[in-house]
Structure 1
Amino acid sequence: MPTILAAAAREGNWLLLAALAAGLVVFAVCAVRLTVMDLREHRLPNPWTGALAAGGGFTLGLGCLVDDVGWSRFWSMLGGGAVYLALMLLLHLINRTGMGMGDVKLAGGLGLYAGWLGWDHLLAAIVLGFMAGGLVALALVVTRRATGSTHLPFGPAMLAGTAVALLL
């Protein structure tokens, strides 16, 4: 995303710059709120996962209208949301106690953001999210703050993975 923002500024595409900046603000606000709620209450409320998806879809969709490769970004964005959501839904159906529906819904919104940048960013967001979640779980088990049966919130790891992918 930084390279696209820099290119938009260099080319004077202020509409694209504004759309992306607004999208990043939506992402940041929702990410902070969702992280706090998931860490405290182990839930990702629909109004916030919905705001992330709707805000991202709207702002990034506007960005597609003023970008040179807008239609390919648009379809990539929609595909990214669908793929990440489908993957997490599959994991939820395989093990309902391991993955909650909040994580599934969050994945749809995160997939929009990562997918807008391309399939490589989507893959990075997914892999980085699972790596972050695994490292946190490992650290908690090693320090004896968790066991193999402890339920850990996965939303913050998903959000962190996507945030890093957006910075690539």
Structure 2
Amino acid sequence: MSTILAEAVRDGNWLLLAAVLASLAVFGVCAIVLTGTDLREHRLPNRWTGALASGGAVTLGLACLADDVGWSRFWSMLGGGVAYLGLILLLHLISRTGMGMGDVKLAGGLGLYAGWLGWDQLFAAVVLGFVAGGMVALALVLTRRATGSTHLPFGPAMLLGTFVALLF
């Protein structure tokens, strides 16, 4: 994302710059609210997962209109949303007690963001989310604050993984 922002400034593409910054603002606000809610209540409210997805679709869709490779980014964005949602939905269906439907809906929005940047960033977002979730779970088990059967919120790990993927 930083490369795209730098190129937009260099080229004087202020619409692209504004749209990408707006998408990051939407991401940031939604990520803070969703992380706090998931840590406190173990749920991801539809209002906020929907805001993440719709806000990302609108702002990144606008960025597609302002970008030279806009159609490529548009299809990558949609594909990323469907792919990440599909993966987490599959995991939800396989392990009924693991991933919740909030995680599935969150994945759709996160996939839009990571997919907009490309398939490599989408892959990185997914992998980093699972690595972050695994590291937290391992740390909690090692410090005896959780056991193998403890339900841990996965939304914050997914958000962190996508955030890190967006940085590069």
Matched residues in 2 for 1:96 and 1:38: separation? 18
Matched residues in 1 for 2:26 and 2:53: separation? 9
Letter in 1 for 2:117: L
Given the alignment of the two structures, is residue 31 of structure 1 paired with residue 53 of structure 2, yes or no?
no
The residue number in structure 1 matching 2:54 is 54
Given the alignment of the two structures, is residue 104 of structure 1 paired with residue 104 of structure 2, yes or no?
yes
Given the alignment of the two structures, is residue 70 of structure 1 paired with residue 95 of structure 2, yes or no?
no
The residue number in structure 1 matching 2:127 is 127
Extract unaligned runs of 5+ from structure 1. Answer: none
**Structure 1 ranges of 4+ moved more than 4 A:** none
Matched residues in 2 for 1:89 and 1:96: separation? 10
Alpha-carbon distance, 1:142 to partner: 0.2
Matched residues in 2 for 1:59 and 1:66: separation? 11
Alpha-carbon distance, 1:123 to partner: 0.1
Letter in 2 for 1:4: I
| TM-score, with structure 1 as normaliser | 1.00
Give deviations 1:77-124, integer Å, cap 9, x for gaps.
000000000000000000111100000000000000000000000000
The residue number in structure 2 matching 1:144 is 144
The residue number in structure 1 matching 2:84 is 84
- Equivalent residues, number: 168
Letter in 2 for 1:56: G
Aligned identity (percent) is 80
Alpha-carbon distance, 1:13 to partner: 0.2
Letter in 2 for 1:141: V
Matched residues in 1 for 2:104 and 2:111: separation? 11
Report the 3-state secondary structure (helix = DSSP H, G, I; strand = E; otherwise coil) of the residue aligned with 1:98.
coil
Matched residues in 1 for 2:155 and 2:17: separation? 28
Matched residues in 2 for 1:66 and 1:156: separation? 31
Matched residues in 2 for 1:158 and 1:165: separation? 11
Letter in 1 for 2:149: S
The residue number in structure 2 matching 1:41 is 41
Matched residues in 1 for 2:63 and 2:23: separation? 9
Report the 3-state secondary structure (helix = DSSP H, G, I; strand = E; otherwise coil) of the residue aligned with 2:145.
coil
Give deviations 1:105-153, integer Å, cap 9, x for gaps.
0000000000000000000000000000000000000000000000000
